[in-house]
A and B are shown apart, each in its own frame.
Chain A
Amino acid sequence: MEEFSNRINLRAAGCAKCHNPRYERGYQVRLCKDCRRELSRYPVTREVIWGALGVSVILLLALFRLPTYFRAGVDYMKAMEFAKERKYVSAEKGFTATLKRFPGHVGSIVHLITASYFNDDQTRTDSLYSVLTATHTTSDDQDLVDELTIVTDNSRYFSIQDSTISNQLDALRADTTAYCKVLEDYLKKAPYDLAAAVNLAYAYLELKNYKGADSLCRKAIHDAPLFRPPYFELLASLKEQGRYKEGLILTQQLLDQNKEAPSALLTLSTFQLKLKKDKEALITAQQAFQLEPENPDVLTTLCMAYHFNHQQVESNRLLTKLKDMPGSDSSHVAMLQNIITDKTPYRD
């Protein structure tokens, strides 16, 4: 006789459990409806119930934390995607959010250093680099090391390498000619010092020596294409010289490095306005506005772009907003007002 622990007799004439002659037809094992129902609800042992309760508590705790971690994960992945697309303003926001949740995450710190570097925020780049150094962690991820190397290689160009020259220059700020002389002499000995070259180009611009400034900036760009300050000096020079078409090409180079660089977008919009490419200028200014809606320079350029696109209501609204901004520069606002009321010519 085949029998199971719970008194199942498979050879019984009636129900294998209770011997009821009214068993359910069509099954290989004869069981009445009630017994089949009861057996299908075979009791779970106490140990398993306790175990399941324990796992349920763990699962609940885990699920409670899930939204935060999930959000952090999605933000990080999005930021990585933005960084890959060279949209560094969006990437910076994402990595900042990630670091709030996971402050020690080396990958996020390195990516944020890169983002702030290409967003032309050298102060933040330096402070994040200090944070990274303070963590005393070494990454064996070669991609991260390579990424950091690009920034550190270019960041060294931000300060003049010879500190005695720096000190000398600090004392000569008011005397531009002497300032230039010191830098010219120094650059003969240290032509590799791009910080000195940029400083000299800036001084040349003040002296309206555009040829000298252009030459220094172009050499610096050639020597270190990812060192961004010479681009901006050269753009300033080109603007002064009215060489807007060359400026468009140069801003495009900056935007290839960072599609969301607000300063590059502003310069591009300005050059487009100067070249009477008003529709393009408005689109560019709106892109900058989406990135930095409270930046007075962005508002100024957008205000002008609206004006030259004959959207006077929008232009006036932005002018009012600029006037109402705390700490707004009244002379700057007055100049803008004169441009959009056609009292001062803006284009050549």
Chain B
Amino acid sequence: MMIPGVYMALITFPGVVVHEFAHQLFCRLCGVAIFDVKYFQMADPVGYVQHEPVKKPFHQLLISVGPFIVNNILALAIAFPAAIPVFMFNDGSLFDFLLLYLGLSIAMHAFPSTTDAKVMWETIWHGKNVPLWLKIITVPITGLIYAGAMGAVMWLDLVWGMGVAFGLPILIVKFLSQVM
């Protein structure tokens, strides 16, 4: 079933807002000037943060992958307490399903966009005086972002979101039950 990305983004808009907020947060932490922020719109792109070119290339890496860090952590924190009763004990309340919806929405938008990847690639790979280690780690990260973008056509973002919000809490509980 094909659902245009913008409608999918509308259904999962909390994730878009958190995604843009994460870019904004890392701009602030890196002291990078922001010119404009759109948290959500019914257009392509569904959200953006327009910031100045960074002085330190590493800051671009942080700003680009910021949503991956923030969205995943927040999604896991929100979904964790609901995933246990729902998926382990088939005992979910309405509140649990709200938490799971939020967790799924936020985790689905954890992957940086291809625009994020392009900016990162231009800044780091083609940038001047960029340390080699940074260039090296940028290659797989950019590759993963593009793979994620291509996979979104096959609902990879949804699969990722379900994995983080529904599957990861159960895996963590299983793992901790063995070490505790």
Contacts and interface: CB of A to CB of B under 8 A. Distances in A.
A34 to B, nearest CB: 11
Interface stretch (B114-122, B140-148, B170-178): B170-178
Given A31-B52, A51-B17, A40 B33 contact: yes
Question: Most chain-B CB neighbours within 10 Å: which of A51, A72, A73?
Answer: A73
B177 A36 contact: no
Interface in A228-269: none
Nearest to A48: B39
A42 B55 contact: no
B45 interface: no
Given A8-B35, A28-B53, A62-B99, A74 B81 contact: no
A12 B91 CA distance: 62
A18 interface: no
Contacts of A27: 52-53, 55
A41 interface: yes
Question: Most chain-A CB neighbours within 10 Å: which of B21, B88, B102?
Answer: B88
B91 A102 contact: yes
A74 B28 contact: no
A44 B81 CA distance: 28
Contact of B173 (A45, A70, A104, A108): A70
A77 B55 CA distance: 50
Contacts of B33: 29, 31, 35-36, 39-40
A78 interface: yes
B39 A40 contact: no
A304 B160 CA distance: 61
Secondary structure type dominating chain B contacts: helix
B88 to A, nearest CB: 6
Contacts of B36: 4-6
A81 B24 CA distance: 45
A74 B177 contact: yes
B24 A44 contact: yes
Contact of B34 (A26, A39, A76): A39
A48 B77 contact: no
Question: Most chain-A CB neighbours within 10 Å: which of B35, B55, B74, B91?
Answer: B35
B104 interface: no
B49 to A, nearest CB: 8
A26 B55 contact: yes
B80 interface: yes
Given A48-B21, A73-B88, A74-B180, A66 B80 contact: yes
A63 B77 contact: yes
Interface in A76-99: 76-78, 81, 98
B31 interface: yes
Q: How large is the interface on B (under 10, 10 to 19, 20 to 34, 35 or more residues)?
A: 35 or more
Nearest to B34: A42
Interface in A9-39: 26-29, 31, 35-37, 39
Contacts of A69: 81, 84-85
Contact of A72 (B17, B78, B89, B95): B89
Contact of A104 (B28, B91, B174): B91
Interface in B71-130: 74, 77-78, 80-82, 84-85, 88-91, 95, 98-99, 102
Given A73-B88, A76-B88, A39 B35 contact: yes
B96 to A, nearest CB: 9
Contacts of A5: 35-36
A58 B102 contact: yes
B174 A77 contact: yes
A335 to B, nearest CB: 44
Contacts of A189: none
Contacts of B53: 27-29
Contact of B78 (A31, A59, A73): A59
28 contacts: A27-B52, A27-B55, A31-B52, A36-B31, A39-B34, A39-B52, A40-B28, A40-B33, A40-B34, A42-B37, A45-B39, A48-B39, A51-B14, A55-B78, A58-B99, A62-B77, A66-B80, A70-B81, A70-B173, A72-B84, A73-B88, A76-B177, A77-B174, A77-B177, A77-B178, A102-B91, A104-B91, A105-B89
Given A66-B80, A70-B80, A74-B176, 11 more contacts: A29-B52, A37-B31, A39-B34, A42-B34, A44-B21, A55-B78, A98-B89, A102-B85, A104-B90, A104-B91, A105-B91
**Closest 9 interchain pairs by CB?**
A77-B177, A39-B33, A42-B34, A73-B173, A29-B52, A102-B89, A69-B84, A4-B35, A66-B81
